[in-house]
Amino acid sequence: MGSVDRMVDWDRVEQLRSKGWDWDEIAEDPKVGFTADAASGDPGRALRILYHRRRGKGPKKDDEPKKGLKNVDTAESRWGLLRLGYLLVPVVAVWFAIAYVAPSPVGLILPAIPYILLILAGVTLLLIYALLRAEKRWSKVYRTTVIGAIVLGLVFTGVVGLTGSLLFGCPYLPPSSSLSAQPAPGWTAGTMTPWHDGGKVVMFFYGASWCPYCSAGSWTIWKALQEYGGTSGNATGYSSLSDVYSGTPEMILANVQLSSSNVSFQVSEDTSGVDGNFPGTSNCYQAAYVSAYSGSAIPFLVVNGQFLHAGTPIINPATLGAYNYANTSGSSGANGAGMVAHQVSAESGSGWAAVSTQAYWIMAYIAKACGATNAQGVLWLSSHVAPRPWTSSTQLAVSNDLAQIT
- β-partners of residue 263 are 201
69, 88, 122 — which closes off a domain?
69
In a domain, 174, yes or no: no
DSSP state of 184: S
53, 69, 85 — which closes off a domain?
69
Residue 57's contacts (CB-CB under 8 Å, 6 or more residues apart) are none
> In whole angstroms, what is the distance from residue 339 CA to residue 351 CA?
8
Q: Are residues 148 and 290 in the same domain?
A: no
Q: Are residues 239 and 113 in the same domain?
A: no
Q: Are residues 48 and 134 in the same domain?
A: no
Return the closest-CA partner of residue 266 out of 251, 238, 285, 294.
285
In a domain, 150, yes or no: yes
In a domain, 63, yes or no: yes
> In whole angstroms, what is the distance from residue 276 CA to residue 25 CA?
62
How many structural domains does the chain have?
A: 3
Q: Are residues 189 and 155 in the same domain?
A: no
Q: Are residues 270 and 335 in the same domain?
A: yes
Q: Are residues 60 and 83 in the same domain?
A: no
Q: Average pLDDT of 329-347? A: 83
In a domain, 241, yes or no: yes
DSSP state of 115: I
pLDDT tens readout for residues 259-301: 999 999 999 999 999 999 999 999 999 999 999 999 999 999 9
Q: Are residues 255 and 389 in the same domain?
A: yes
Q: Are residues 263 and 186 in the same domain?
A: yes
In a domain, 93, yes or no: yes
Q: Are residues 63 and 82 in the same domain?
A: no
Contact yes or no for 370/382 (Cβ under 8 A): no
3-state percent breakdown (helix, strand, coil) of the chain, nearest 5 = 50, 10, 35
18, 34, 69 — which closes off a domain?
69
In a domain, 173, yes or no: no
Contact yes or no for 262/370 (Cβ under 8 A): yes
pLDDT tens readout for residues 40-89: 678 888 888 888 887 765 444 444 444 444 444 555 678 889 999 999 99
pLDDT tens readout for residues 86-136: 999 999 999 999 989 888 888 877 888 888 999 999 999 999 999 998 888
Contact yes or no for 293/179 (Cβ under 8 A): yes
Q: Are residues 215 and 245 in the same domain?
A: yes
Return the closest-CA partner of residue 91 out of 137, 140, 157.
157
In a domain, 175, yes or no: no
Q: Average pLDDT of 134-161? A: 91
Q: Are residues 25 and 129 in the same domain?
A: no
Could you tell me the residue range of the domain that residue 39 belongs to? 2-69
DSSP state of 112: I
Contact yes or no for 260/384 (Cβ under 8 A): no
Question: Helices in 20-172 by DSSP H: which ranges?
Answer: 23-28, 43-54, 74-77, 81-101, 117-133, 140-162
Return the closest-CA partner of residue 381 out of 235, 201, 239.
201
In a domain, 172, yes or no: no
> In whole angstroms, what is the distance from residue 171 CA to residue 257 CA?
25
Sequence length of the chain is 406
Q: Are residues 39 and 114 in the same domain?
A: no
pLDDT tens readout for residues 182-203: 999 999 999 999 999 999 999 9
